[in-house]
Structure 1
């Protein structure tokens, strides 16, 4: 007799009440990955390098500027959202690995760091932003601005952005996996489709991945305040704001819009690819809400109430630190956190947290010794009853009927394992794994 193990996850809410003998309510875990827009670059009181990254072998530790909201540290958008939804959505912990300057290639390293530090392999919620550093967007912005704009404008020298719209779009296409990598235009060796696949490997069935986009850092010129430029800049004040030239703003805004569109496209593809495994991918476009939301006003650079820094120098000569430039201030992170919290509330339910059930034996009803079961919003004894019925009548063939629902196999996957994924009715799914 060949023995094998089967793990089943039911990812839907049934109407039956929780049994009196139910185990304590399960909770979700949350992993935060990504770049400076996720780490909290732009605010004061971020975690020191050694606080979350103890030095090894005397090596210098990278300053990730992690605003993780703990021990007096500031909060980026994820910890802000966490405080808002943790109780109602049963989120018990947040593991924060986002790091300033990160590119797509570093996401696997962040996951590895989280696994080592927290002893966790898969999470229920994963949030991150990544890609801006791959296309060198910070360098593009730096090339568009500078004190040099002032004196060059007076002597009629060429000023402003050197990159063209087509060149910027080409870099974004590389990031989205639509074109080959060109090293002088793109940082790294991996693209978004590759990274999303890697992230999905560390999400529990029933889990959610939320990818945040990027804001438009500068306001549409049609919305610029009348007195945004000091009057002593006689010539420059007619066509610039915050060291950005009016003629360059359409390029920068179009570039950010195209970047968000391409990220959203790849997120949708990842959602379709991993839906049958019970893993959902969502894109959250923060360029509209909160930064250009009719209900809360407009808050990019060159507005009356900007939630993004312009050129900002932090420190003293010779140790000047410019990285806070063009990143959110605390108001921006707080507003984004609220948008994320609302997004999570709309997609997650407290009673859909996946719980582990006791080992269920099927002998002598089958040749298999046991099933390992987990369920979401369903009493373990009811899950066991349904599994016994399905196993007795069909043996978990490619389709079966249980409790009035037609169930069918939707996919196979995983290394070294055969995975049969069953979808039942409209919302119910069984994820069945067994060893060859």
Structure 2
């Protein structure tokens, strides 16, 4: 047990099992981010090509039973259905982090939660400041620049080939997961236009049965999948955005094993199974249908980016996210005994804060909910998200490339310290200190 007067460190190294697990997650998300980027580029090129009409017709193609409120277009199925898988995985990750991960310790959880709150509050304030004079429905998009896209951010890291310390990668991932949870709360509370209590109350029945089965460690897909689908359909019919069902289902899944022993718990098992589907299919397909905006239809790039909605999104992502995340981190260390871990510099924190300005998946979703898919302001929102995310990525690249040599040197030192058991000595020393 560490001494009572030991100074807590921000962005310190976690336990070796947690670092290894986070590394596996990041590899999957990085590949998913590459697919997301490819899907977004394909959508933009197709939407501005002579065959743009085919792209629009594909997104408008309707499938599903009309009697069950499920006669949806392919674009709606991607936003309401596939993103439920994305939020299911995010919910599993968040619950695991706070129940069994390193963030079960309040001193470790404090920083990413505070950073997520700072990184959501300031962009919302900036967007509101840009659009308050105009008033009207423009203010409905206040939450658009508040989200961070972890897959997109990690794809940028993969492209610039930085050697971030494991603690910084963990911080970025956890920040984005907390960000996603806050975003789904915002969607449920502020972007539910009409609420039908009947279907919502009925959704509690399959949700409770799903929870009962997973608490008994049942893994049979033919039992769990129908219950999850019925829960999703009833939440969709209630008027609450259907992605909320994904988080609700995830929170019922137990994290810890019933009998102590080696091996993953049920939440980690589900996360391992569904993360490739989320990162490799759900998010890229949504990006394909959501990112395709015609520059001519938006009034031209210049006209679109001078709209207060697009300006609020761009400045909110680039400035609001960076200052909010960095400022919240500084305030945590300023008003607590915590200090940055050895080897971590404030430039590293600033680089991560810039990366947090890469918003895509949830930002585009909120834009559609705020202004209606296909509307002129939704098109301006898409351009604002794309430009803001690109600027954040470029600025983060400048900062992190300057630190790239330092990261590589730290990685080489850790690799030299590894011994035959595959666990770096620095982790063994920290585990002994904890014991």
TM-score (norm 2): 0.26
Structure (1/2) with the larger helix percentage? 2
**TM-score, structure 1 normalization:** 0.26
Structure whose residues are more often strand by fraction: 1
Larger Rg: 1
